[in-house]
């Protein structure tokens, strides 16, 4: 009987300890995000050139740095429909009430739009934020076209992407929300098809 009470006591203590650690973590992370908010809102101008090798879909491509290293790049703050049947396409279909075929059809349109903007051989310029890589090892970046426009913003403004903000990479989140709102109101790109 005493062993059962001790076991329950340790479980309760462990539970409280985990809650305390999580609370401290989120408080510290929140403070870091608040500090970043002021500093992160400014464009630092630090951009690294990279030559496009292959476009995978509307928000992901491969590029080569001047030293020959190749990386897979995921655009920060946006999401385009999947252009292939995969787990995310099925999740998106379930979440949106659309068929997987419809998700993939829209994804192919977004991919084609991105390919027109950054065909292989195009030199783009990468700007990073706080978190450099996602859980899949892709480099997270704001991508600038040769004419100076930000690809992330162009995709939103033309209606081929939706806002997908994941802290701590929030530097342009407010601008992105406004671009999406305007594209949706004007029925641009995929919005005219009920994105």
Q: In a structure prediction context, what are the per-residue pLDDT tens digits for the chain, which is 195 residues long?
A: 555 555 555 555 544 443 333 333 334 433 333 333 323 333 456 899 999 999 999 999 999 999 999 999 999 999 999 878 888 878 887 888 888 888 888 889 999 999 999 999 999 999 999 999 999 999 999 999 999 999 999 999 999 999 999 999 999 999 999 999 999 999 999 998 877
CATH architecture, range 48-193: Beta Barrel (2.40)
Single pTM value for the model: 0.74
Q: Which residue has the tokens 């400014």?
A: 42
Residue in 74, 98, 115, 171 annotated catalytic: 74
Residue in 98, 115, 138, 171 annotated catalytic: 138
How many residues make up the chain in this entry? 195
pLDDT number for residue 95 = 84
Residue in 82, 127, 153, 158 annotated catalytic: 82
CA distances from 45 to 10, 40, 53, 63, 65 (A): 52, 12, 24, 20, 18
- Examine the residue annotation and report whether 74 is marked as an active-site residue of this protein: yes
pLDDT number for residue 20 = 35
Each domain of the chain, given as residue ranges in start order, spans 1-40, 48-193
- Examine the residue annotation and report whether 82 is marked as an active-site residue of this protein: yes
């Amino acid at each position: 009987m005493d062993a059962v009470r001790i076991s329950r006591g340790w479980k309760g203590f462990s539970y409280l300890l985990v809650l305390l650690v999580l609370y401290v973590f989120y408080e510290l992370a929140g403070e870091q995000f608040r500090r970043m908010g002021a500093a992160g809102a400014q464009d630092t101008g630090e951009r690294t050139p990279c030559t496009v090798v292959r476009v995978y879909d509307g928000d992901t491509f491969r590029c080569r740095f001047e030293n020959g290293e190749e990386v897979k790049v995921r655009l920060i703050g946006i999401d385009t429909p999947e252009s292939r049947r995969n787990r995310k396409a099925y999740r998106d279909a379930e979440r949106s009430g659309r068929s997987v075929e419809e998700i993939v059809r829209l994804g192919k349109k977004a991919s084609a739009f991105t390919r027109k903007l950054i065909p292989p051989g195009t030199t783009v310029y990468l700007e990073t934020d706080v978190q450099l890589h996602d859980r899949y090892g892709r480099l997270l970046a704001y991508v600038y076209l040769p004419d100076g426009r930000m690809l992330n913003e162009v995709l939103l403004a033309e209606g081929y992407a939706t806002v997908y903000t994941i802290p701590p990479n929030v530097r342009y989140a407010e601008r992105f929300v406004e671009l999406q709102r305007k594209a949706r109101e004007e029925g641009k790109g995929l919005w005219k098809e009920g994105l």
